[in-house]
A and B are shown apart, each in its own frame.
Chain A
């Protein structure tokens, strides 16, 4: 056995404790079978802020010497299993230093497994996931994304359910008895053991063929050498923007092509332009300056720039004019205003369907009792 690597992709802060439980659980379970391992995370400035995709890893090896090659590294070059604890991450991640959108399955080995928590089916998720030139497995654990905070942990067993699926999808990591022994020792909770067992039985696995998935080509660029980089830590400003392409007026600011941030989004605003009074509040208040000013004076949230914070929905004074919708309902970042301009009736129908999917997820922990109303059916 060489090393086995597992990557956990999670939303910064909200899911950090959970990601840590998963990677710890992996190493502790493997230890029960006499193996060794390490668990580590990529820390940084941006990646640990609210909602921003971040990563933690667990590496398991037969002995210390085999493990050494995986120590003092930021990321393994390939992984046997990728775990995404929010299905919106299937669209891709910018986990570190914002080098553009990267496929969620980028590090996955041939015939490796991507495990996702989702209430959606594999058929619904696969169109979001970038194509890979080798086959892999998609394993779905039914459930919505579990979000907590920096100071609180929502102990809903999502972590145990992720661990429970591992003996099914990667039996060479560890078997169920080892995992159960580890959970019992570390968390001292038989209910958690039961959650892991159930997950082992219920996880749904489907092969994904090389031609399946989103055809989008991920962003890439070459890093300059010291001779070509500008000296003095100078970064040239993004040029000013201009008119809407194909129109006389409007203003669309030029945006940094290297810094998109939209993988932070778990929900996005949709705007009912028919209701909009052009009051400018969304445009003024958006913390990311996402709104393009349309030639006819509306405000169009640019989905290349929006991080999904929900401020525009909160400040819009018109009832049901801006609505936040689950990000997984969308397959592209197209302009809503352009869609509306071309076909107002078509847009109204599209909008009505989208706003059925108001987010059942919660960004962070706000108050005591927040989660009490949540129904167990949603996860089981």
Chain B
């Protein structure tokens, strides 16, 4: 069916002169839907939960408009949603599913086995605070919960990056050296429901970047009679865990390679694991993931105007964790502050997940920076310039005195 001048088509703008990219005004969710269209997915499952659900709405429209030919299955729960794509992936389909918050948690059993079976499911998590109390705002604990299961996890800052990272996710997940699922985390509200100007490439370009999914001799098919997912016991399981560990380690190299190709084909200038902002001569830096990069960058510029040498490092991949890159980057600074839009109750220093991981990544460095943790923006509360300024002042004070002010501070919480 020819595309009609409504919805997606209406959002299309004339192509820019330099490339055949189309500029569209679309939300983070819609950007992910476009990645699904461009990747020409075969199977997609849907079950509504805010704030991810715009994706399923948009994908169904693309199918209805004839822009995408895919099986669209409305599941009766998130658990089934992820079971369906897991099975479809085993028979060679390129698949996508998404969810948010406790919906993602309801799929947990399916999420665990997907990684265990080495099935390259690509998912979107529209980050949402975990109920109860019921809340819709962004918090990263939902996606982070799969961090130990063999899922790759990436966080994005803009709708553009949401689309680009989803394409990269398909490429990395489906690489036979990896064959692991990948979740693209998109901040609820600030990105899922916020429309940005996005450069949407042509399918031809995407086809250069993304080869068809080929499961090789692991394909579940009558012509290739195999069983997958047998019952095993203690005599086998540790070897299987080791195999998955090696696959995750290999993913680092595959990600770096994918970014190189992506930059070449699409004319972008991404670095794979970290984005550094005004760090060259910085004394102190903040580290964080997702959309909080925006208020932090604004604050950094303001503080720079006052002569304060503050910078920002944005972590783009949480799994596999870019340990070496983080070490090389953060060892250059006197004090580092990790902003967590998540929390780990009862953790070693009563801090966030990211803080705890970075603290561990820095342990082997001979000269470690002073490390602060900041808990901020939970439940989708805005990360403000005032808040980031407060964090920066704490870091500057530590850097000056050479001693840690306070390990973990909650920013913007009412006393």
Contact = CB atoms under 8 A, between A and B. Distances in A.
A251 B234 CA distance: 37
B179 A232 contact: yes
B233 A234 contact: no
A226 B228 CA distance: 17
- Give the most central of B228, B231, B233: most A CB within 10 Å: B233
Given A44-B233, A74-B234, A233-B117, A225 B239 contact: yes
Given A74-B234, A231-B247, A226 B239 contact: yes
Given A44-B233, A97-B233, A234-B218, A229 B243 contact: yes
Given A226-B242, A237-B227, A232 B218 contact: yes
Q: How large is the interface on B (under 10, 10 to 19, 20 to 34, 35 or more residues)?
A: 20 to 34
Contact of A229 (B116, B179, B217, B240): B240
Nearest to B233: A97
B225 interface: yes
B132 interface: no
A237 B225 contact: yes
A231 B240 CA distance: 7
A353 interface: no
A223 B235 contact: yes
How many interface residues does chain A have, given as a range?
Answer: 10 to 19
A45 B230 CA distance: 12
Contacts of A229: 236, 239-240, 243
A96 B233 CA distance: 9
Nearest to A74: B234
Interface in A189-243: 223-226, 229, 231-237
B239 A233 contact: no
Contact of A232 (B118, B225, B234, B236): B118
A235 B242 contact: no
B413 interface: no
B118 A231 contact: yes
A230 to B, nearest CB: 8
Contacts of A235: 226-228, 230
B239 A234 contact: no
Contacts, number: 51
Given A97-B233, A226-B242, A226-B243, A231 B116 contact: no
B210 to A, nearest CB: 21
Interface string B234-278: 111001101100110000000000000000000000000000000
B229 interface: yes
A44 B243 CA distance: 24
A236 B218 CA distance: 9
Interface string A40-74: 00001100000000000000000000000000001
A44 B118 CA distance: 25
A298 B230 CA distance: 34
A232 B239 contact: no
Contacts of A97: 233, 235
Interface in A54-112: 74, 96-97
Nearest to B220: A234
A223 B233 CA distance: 13
Nearest to B226: A234
A229 B116 CA distance: 15
B178 to A, nearest CB: 11
B341 to A, nearest CB: 34
A226 B234 CA distance: 13
Contacts of A45: 231
B229 A233 contact: yes
A236 B228 CA distance: 9
A105 B218 CA distance: 41
Contact of A231 (B231, B233, B235, B243): B243
Contacts of A74: 234
Nearest to A42: B233
B227 A231 contact: no
B193 to A, nearest CB: 37
B246 to A, nearest CB: 8
Given A45-B231, A96-B233, A231-B247, 20 more contacts: A97-B233, A223-B236, A226-B239, A226-B243, A226-B246, A229-B239, A231-B218, A232-B118, A232-B228, A233-B117, A233-B228, A233-B229, A233-B230, A233-B232, A234-B217, A234-B226, A234-B228, A235-B226, A237-B225, A237-B227
Interface of A: 44-45, 74, 96-97, 223-226, 229, 231-237
19 contacts: A44-B233, A74-B234, A96-B233, A97-B233, A97-B235, A223-B236, A229-B239, A231-B218, A231-B243, A232-B117, A232-B118, A232-B179, A232-B228, A233-B229, A234-B217, A234-B227, A235-B226, A235-B227, A237-B227
Would you list the 7 A-B pairs with minimal beta carbon distance, nearest first?
A237-B225, A226-B239, A232-B118, A226-B242, A235-B227, A232-B218, A231-B243
Interface of B: 116-118, 179, 217-218, 225-236, 239-240, 242-243, 246-247
